[in-house]
Amino acid sequence: SRTFYARGQTGQQLLLGAYSALSRQLSKGKVCFFPRHDMLDVVVVDGKAKGVVTRNLLNGKICSHYADAVILATGGYSNVYYLSTNAMASNVTANWRAHRKGALFANPSFTQIHPTCIPVKNNFQSKLTLMSESLRNDGRVWVPKKKNDLRKPNNIPENERDYYLERIYPAFGNLVPRDVASRRTKEVCDNGQGVGKTGIAVYLDFKRVIQDKGKQYVQEKYGNLFDMYQKITDEDPYAIPMKIYPAVHYTMGGLWVDYNLMTTIPGLFSIGESNFSDHGANRLGASALMQALADGYFVVPHTITDYLSKETPSSLNKINQPAFESVVHNTKQEIEKIMNIKGTLVVDEIH
C-alpha cells in the first residue's frame, strides 16, 4: 500500500495536522493570518512577483501585501463546472489572475470525474459531496436491469440487478480506475437504468460484506463515512444501498511550474493542486495528499530560499509603491465596472 490510511478520513486528518501546525505558528506570532480575504491580483515588478493585492470579504477594503516571493496554494479549477465537490470559495480566480499576469497554464483539459459522490438532489445545491473512494473496496455497484425501474432497492431481487462493473470488467470488478467507473456509470444512467427521483444515480451496496464480515467490520472501517452519508441524505446505508454518481472532483492541470515549483513569473511559486506538476492525465488515490505534503513540506521551503539567496540585497525588502498603487487603482476600476452593470442575475444563474 502506498498510503497509511486513517479509515476513510486520511485527508481530513492531514488537514487537522496542518491547521494545528498553523495555529502553533500563529500563537508564536511567526505568521500573519488574513482570513476571509480574496486575492485580486499579483503585483509584478521588473518581471518578478513582489506581492499581492487582496480584498477583505467582510468590509470590501482593498489591501496590499508586499513580499520578496509569492506562493499560491489556492487549489484547482473544478468550479468552472456548474457543480463540483470543491468548496464554493475554491474558485480558481487566483490562478486566473496569475495567468493573466503572464504565468503559463498547463494541461487544462485534465479533469478528474470522481465516481463516488452523493448525487444531485435538488436545483438549489451549491456543491456536491465526495464519498471516499475506499468504499468501492467492499461496496458493489449496481442498477436495475429493467429501465425506469421505480422499485425500492431492497425489493429488487438479485437476478434483476446489473452489477455492471463486475460484468464488464470481471478481472477488476468494482475496483476499476475512477475514470472508467465514471464513464460506465454515466452510460447506464443515460440508458435509462439510473435510480432515484432524478435517474442520475446508481446503487453502492454493502449487503454482502455486512453478511460475510458483520456490521461491526463495516462500522470500524467506514463508520464515519456512513454517518456523513446518513446526515446528508437521511438514509441508513447499513439498511439501504447508498446512491452515488460521478462528479467533478480534482484538476490535474494548473499553473506550469519548473522542478523548483516556480511558475514562469520569477518569484511566483505554485504548490499543490494549483500547479500541474505531479499527476499527468489522471490521479491515483491519495496522490493529492502526497503532492500537498511533498510540495508544501519537502520542496518549496528549500527552493524558495534558494531563489531568495540569488537575489541581490538591494532588491530584497524593497517596496515599489507606484507598482502597487497602479494595481490597486486598476483593481478598483474593475470592481466598479462590475458593480455598475446593474444586472438582475447572479453569476451562477448564467454559468
Whether the CB-CB separation of 206 and 141 falls below 8 Å is answered with no
Extract the C-alpha cell encoding 31: 505568521
In degrees and rounded to multiples of 5, residue 320 shows phi and psi of: -95, 90
Q: Which domains does the chain have, with CATH numbers?
A: 34-110+252-350 (3.50.50.60), 114-246 (3.90.700.10)
Q: What is the pLDDT of residue 1?
A: 62
Give the Cα separation of 75 and 92 in Å (integer). Answer: 7
Is 136 one of the catalytic residues?
A: no
Q: Which residues contact 19 (CB under 8 A, 6 or more apart)?
A: none
What is the pTM (predicted TM-score) of this model? 0.89
Q: How far apart are CA 6 and CA 286, in angstroms?
A: 11
Written as tens digits, the pLDDT of the chain (351 aa) is: 667 777 667 888 888 999 999 999 999 999 999 999 999 999 999 999 999 999 999 999 999 999 999 999 999 999 888 889 998 888 889 999 999 999 999 999 999 999 999 999 887 788 899 988 888 989 999 999 999 999 999 999 999 999 999 999 999 999 998 899 999 999 999 999 999 999 999 999 999 999 999 999 999 989 889 999 999 999 999 999 999 999 999 999 999 999 999 999 999 999 999 999 988 888 877 888 889 889 999 999 999 999 999 988 777 777 888 999 999 999 999 999 988 998 888 777 776
What does the pLDDT read at residue 73? 94
Catalytic residue among 55, 178, 184, 283: 178
